């Protein structure tokens, strides 16, 4: 009997079999088609009766290595990758929902998620309710006879609100619905939603999985049956295929995910504490702070680590001044980047109200709690003193 391998080991080892050349690092296969051994074998492969690659849209060995590795790290049976995080959400919705079905989401989800589910899918007759992230009772109260999916993101972007995955899984399952969790912020290093009862884990590979801000990627981790029966058909008809090169970059990123997430999270907590003591800062949002409203839940659910993203509100007397001051902090940066990605080794700062949440209506933005003075910091690996000096330049000169 061999013992099951630990997540650290799977993160560097899980992949498809080596080629006949015995390469130690997983190969990058750039090919759109695959030569078939026979017409009969080809027919069986297209029918799904035999394993084997057929066409670049449907599968690729490098992409398969990424999928196997991420599934192993999430403790899922299977994974289906996509071209971006948003196309993973689109695949999930197209695969699981039809006109007349109802979805419940948190009102503080990623801006494009709110737009996709609340507006784009509404055109096709999918109903949705957006509820308070942290109020379990509100999720329960929103359940209807046609509810098919609960979709949560925890911690949220950018306010790091945490929801109780286990409680939401119970609500979903009692209603005969599924729970999907966007695990972009915590990553499987800190949080494994499937072990807590979630049915689907969604990822933007663009963020921590890549980890160096290079490529777009997305993924859904779920049961083998759901991947084969619900997601693969959408991939074949929708074509939101992850490019092999991008899969290779993200596959390599998974190897260092654990040490990056832990190191960046430690720096984020130290920065959150520094900001909390800064006279120009009104409020800091980071799950590792004792002042965070769901601090205890976050620590229990996220392996005792708050994550590498934080946000803060500058002190101001009105929304116009708040926006002006937040812009001043961002425009005073000389080392950190003014950029809207996250999970990069470079620290990235952004103004959510005019970027990630800029397409929302003012009412949606207020429901999500995104004020004009809010600055998000996705903490990277720079020296702590250089990060604080760069932020202090603007914060100390309003």
Residue ranges in contact with ligand PLP by CB under 6 A: 84-86, 110, 113, 153, 157, 182, 184, 204, 206-207, 216, 218
Cβ proximity to ligand PLP, 109 vs 178, nearer residue: 109
Distance CA(49)–CA(35), nearest Å, equals 17
Distance CA(224)–CA(332), nearest Å, equals 49
Count other C-beta atoms under 10 Å from residue 328's C-beta. 15
Cβ proximity to ligand PLP, 53 vs 185, nearer residue: 185
Cβ proximity to ligand PLP, 161 vs 182, nearer residue: 182
Give the nearest distance from C-beta 350 to ligand PLP in angstroms: 11
Give the nearest distance from C-beta 184 to ligand PLP in angstroms: 4
Give the nearest distance from C-beta 82 to ligand PLP in angstroms: 9
Determine contact, residues 338/314, Cβ cutoff 8 Å.
Answer: no
Give the nearest distance from C-beta 108 to ligand PLP in angstroms: 10
Give the nearest distance from C-beta 222 to ligand PLP in angstroms: 17
Give the nearest distance from C-beta 377 to ligand PLP in angstroms: 14
Can you list the alpha helix ranges (DSSP code H) found in the chain?
Answer: 7-13, 39-47, 61-74, 85-96, 111-115, 136-141, 165-174, 187-190, 224-226, 232-238, 244-255, 257-276, 295-301, 319-331, 362-367, 384-395
Give the nearest distance from C-beta 294 to ligand PLP in angstroms: 17
Give the nearest distance from C-beta 271 to ligand PLP in angstroms: 19
Among all residues, whose Cβ is closest to ligand PLP? Answer: 85
Determine contact, residues 344/380, Cβ cutoff 8 Å.
Answer: yes
Cβ proximity to ligand PLP, 182 vs 199, nearer residue: 182
Three-state DSSP state, 177: coil
Give the side-chain half-sphere CA count within 13 A for 185: 30
Q: Which two tokens stand for residue 154?
A: 């925890």
The sign of the dihedral angle between the CA atoms of 55, 60, 63, 69 is: positive
Q: Which two tokens stand for residue 58?
A: 């449907």
Cβ proximity to ligand PLP, 280 vs 348, nearer residue: 348
Cβ proximity to ligand PLP, 45 vs 344, nearer residue: 344
Cβ proximity to ligand PLP, 104 vs 184, nearer residue: 184
Q: Classify burial at 375, counting beta carbons within 10 Å of its beta carbon; exposed 0-12, middle 13-18, buried 19 or more.
A: buried
Cβ proximity to ligand PLP, 184 vs 360, nearer residue: 184
By residue count, the chain amounts to 398
């Amino acid at each position: 009997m061999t013992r099951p391998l630990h997540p650290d080991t799977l993160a560097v080892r899980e992949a498809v079999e080596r080629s006949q050349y015995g390469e130690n690092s997983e190969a990058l296969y750039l090919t759109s088609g695959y030569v078939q051994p026979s017409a009969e074998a080809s027919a069986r492969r297209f029918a799904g009766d035999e394993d084997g690659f057929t066409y670049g849209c449907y599968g690729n060995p490098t992409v398969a290595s990424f999928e196997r590795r991420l599934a192993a790290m999430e403790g899922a049976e299977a994974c289906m990758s996509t071209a971006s995080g948003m196309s993973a959400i689109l695949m999930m919705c197209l695969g699981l929902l039809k006109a007349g079905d109802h979805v419940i989401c948190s009102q503080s989800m990623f801006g494009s998620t709110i737009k996709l589910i609340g507006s784009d899918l509404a055109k096709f007759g999918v109903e949705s309710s957006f509820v308070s992230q942290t109020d379990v009772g509100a999720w329960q109260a929103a359940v209807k006879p046609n509810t098919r999916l609960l979709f949560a993101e925890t911690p949220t972007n950018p306010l790091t609100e945490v929801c109780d995955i286990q409680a939401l899984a119970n609500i979903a399952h009692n209603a005969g619905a599924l729970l999907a969790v966007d695990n972009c912020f915590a990553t499987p290093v800190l949080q494994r939603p499937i072990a807590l009862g979630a049915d689907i884990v969604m990822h933007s590979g663009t963020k921590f999985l890549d980890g160096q801000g290079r490529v777009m990627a997305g993924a859904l981790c779920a049961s083998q049956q759901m991947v084969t029966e619900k997601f693969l058909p959408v991939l074949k008809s929708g074509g939101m295929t992850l490019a092999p090169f991008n899969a290779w970059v993200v596959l390599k990123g998974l190897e260092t995910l654990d040490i990056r997430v832990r190191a960046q999270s430690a720096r984020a907590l130290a920065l959150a504490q520094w900001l909390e003591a800064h006279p120009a800062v009104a409020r800091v949002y980071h799950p590792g702070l004792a002042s965070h409203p769901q601090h205890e839940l976050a620590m229990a659910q996220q392996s005792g680590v708050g994550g590498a993203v934080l946000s803060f509100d500058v002190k101001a007397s009105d929304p116009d001044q708040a926006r002006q001051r937040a812009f001043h902090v961002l425009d005073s940066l000389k080392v950190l980047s003014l950029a809207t990605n996250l999970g990069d080794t470079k620290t990235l700062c952004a103004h959510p109200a005019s970027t990630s949440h800029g397409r929302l209506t003012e009412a949606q933005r207020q429901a999500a709690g995104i004020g004009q003075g809010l600055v998000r910091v996705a903490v990277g690996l720079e020296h702590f003193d250089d990060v604080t000096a760069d932020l202090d330049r603007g914060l100390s000169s309003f």
